[in-house]
Structure 1
Amino acid sequence: MKILFLSQRVPYPPDRGDKITTYHVMRHLKERHELVSGCFLEEPKEEGYAAKLRGMGVRVHGFPIRPRARKLWALRALLTTQPITLPYFYDRRLANAVASEVAQGVDLLLAYSSSMGQYFSPYPALPKIQIFAELDSDKWLQYARNHSFPGSWIYGREHRRLLRFERELAHAVDACTVVSEVERELFLKQIPGANVAILPNGVDLEAFRPGPEGAREPATLLFTGVMDYGANVDGMLWFHREIWPQLKQAIPQARLLIVGSRPVPAIRALAASDVEVTGFVESTRPYFERATVAIAPLRIARGIQNKVLEAMASGLPTISSPSAFSGIDAQPGRDLLVADEPPAWVDALVGLLRDRERREALGKAARVRMETAYRWDAILGQLDHLIADARARAAARAR
């Protein structure tokens, strides 16, 4: 079977949230089908990533874009009825590549992220699966609630316009997927009648595994994530402002590692003798091995947070906000800790940093939970069933 898989970014390497999922989906499908990838290349080095995929047997249509110019172009949507997101990810070169592949014969269209589903509309007869992961429109609603005018107006507008598109898309495809039951309930509340299944994120249990205990540095906190992403920036600025000073009063030797590419100036400004801001790193694993506790203090989050899964798979005791924990199949208090307001965060951090046995128990339980519930091979077996069902639905339409 020939599958055309569309994603916003080249699905390699698996070093950020969306690319972690698209990489594992790509790897799973290429072992079973003829796979064609359609994606965008945001940096010159990503030409090498596309070449890597071609070496793995995937045909790649990868088109370079300039993100800054795209953002300016997308803002023109404010003068139309479109959401800003769609013109940012629309490109005639990719549309032509999709048309060419369909003309040669495609058995299934698959897209990751609703913005890539806009390429489906010319092909109503083909089987189609949309991996939503989560409702992007709801993320914009959260941004609107956390910003003042004019940001609140722009984000609120994007929420409304994108939700309208998501509704149209969900009813035009044969199957939709989201990452958790929490997301499925929200999805069906906003888009009643959609055929929506749960396809969770997984975690690479070989890449993220417990390291040597002797590598741990005392009283060291770890946050991982792309550091120009709004939710990560907001979460870490809030943590540094509201929690870090109180923690330092209780545990003066505490250190903070902020690990992730493209830190914005506000994040770089946090760097100090006790705060390390790394920028891009080849691998986060050494930092998981160094840290005492992982933190995920996100106030705005949708879907499943890979940073939490990776920390737990690494056997690292983890403290998460309710937003970052939402949708994860784990038990607070046994597998990780969940804290909301600053006093709860300080209490949880101080308690863990002063109690080695508690840290070890949480870390071991976290690893077991990841091994039980978040293996990629088991999760992606569900995608095979969805593909068969989508093809059956398309065949029924054709009769």
Structure 2
Amino acid sequence: MAKKISIPQSLKILFLTQVLPYPLDAGPKIRAYYVLRHLAQKHAVTLVSFVRSSDTPQAIAHLKQFCERVITVPMPRSLWRDGLALLRSLLTGTPFLITRDWVPKMAFAIKNAIRHSPFAIVHADQLWMAPYAMGGQPSAVSGQQAKLVLDQHNAVHLIPKRMAADTHNPLKKLILNRETRLMARYESRICQQFDHVVWVTDEDRKVVTHHPSFATRHSPLATRHS
């Protein structure tokens, strides 16, 4: 049986999201929102989130009602940025989906948040935020490193795998198959660097975590909206 993570009373938690978890108009946002609200009932949670042009001040104001702080960073998107991200992926072997969403301003915002107040736990919502969480681990309380928690939602490498199976374009299939291989290795390696990883289903967990030792640090946890 998977070991449940134990969270004491009144901790300071840094919660990182790739999408603003409000309004509740998409599955990942719904899951992140209710996990965030649940944690905020007993703990002081600082939310650091990417925002898009469609995100409104009203949505941010709503999140501020139960978060200690809400820090937002614009998510830049353009064809030339995607091209540079693909080049970095080719040169480094890092999955494109990860290089695309690496934004220095986000890393800087997290470092500033940590300087403002040390955190006991850094919670990364989805794999895209894992590199930022690992950069925030030096945040310490009483001389101890912050614990790292990753909410995986699902096995990310299955996304390009399904897309590759559906396309008839040879070049696109080649690129997607490469992304699948890179992401599968990256996903497994990153999960091993977190203190605890949470999944929506046990099936997704098993796809990524083949080693028996993972069972003590990984657990399926379905989203509850009540």
8 Å CA contact 1:61, 1:94 repeated in 2: no
Range 88-97 or range 54-63, more displaced = 54-63
8 Å CA contact 2:22, 2:29 repeated in 1: yes
Q: Could you tell me which of 37, 50, 72 is aligned with 2:47? A: 37
**Aligned partner letter, 1:158:** E
2:106 matches 1:94: yes
Q: Could you tell me which of 3, 12, 28 is aligned with 1:2? A: 12
Q: Could you tell me which of 93, 105, 113 is aligned with 2:126? A: 113
CA radius of gyration, larger in: 1
Report % sequence identity: 24
Q: What TM-score results when the alignment is normalised by the length of structure 1?
A: 0.48
- The whole-number CA distance in structure 1 between the counterparts of 2:21 and 2:192 is 26
Give the gaps of 5 or more residues in structure 2: 1-10, 139-144
**Aligned position for 1:127:** 147
Query: Helix, strand or coil for the counterpart of 2:149?
Result: strand
- The aligned runs of 1:361-380 (5 Å cut-off) are 376=226
- The whole-number CA distance in structure 2 between the counterparts of 1:181 and 1:57 is 30
- The aligned runs of 1:1-399 (5 Å cut-off) are 1-69=11-79, 70-80=81-91, 81-103=93-115, 104-122=117-135, 123=137, 125-148=145-168, 149-189=170-210, 193-194=213-214, 195-202=217-224, 204=225, 376=226
List structure 1 segments (4+ residues) > 3 angstroms apart after TM superposition: 44-48, 55-58, 68-73
- The whole-number CA distance in structure 1 between the counterparts of 2:62 and 2:151 is 24
Q: What TM-score results when the alignment is normalised by the length of structure 2?
A: 0.81
Range 56-65 or range 167-176, more displaced = 56-65
Residues 293-312 of structure 1 deviation map (CA, whole Å, 9 limit, x = unaligned): xxxxxxxxxxxxxxxxxxxx
- The whole-number CA distance in structure 2 between the counterparts of 1:144 and 1:10 is 28
Query: Helix, strand or coil for the counterpart of 1:165?
Result: helix
Q: Which has the higher contact order (CA 8 A, sep 6+)?
A: 2
User: Matched residue pairs, number?
Assistant: 203
Query: Helix, strand or coil for the counterpart of 1:22?
Result: helix
Query: Helix, strand or coil for the counterpart of 1:67?
Result: coil
8 Å CA contact 1:41, 1:47 repeated in 2: no
Give the gaps of 5 or more residues in structure 1: 205-375, 377-399
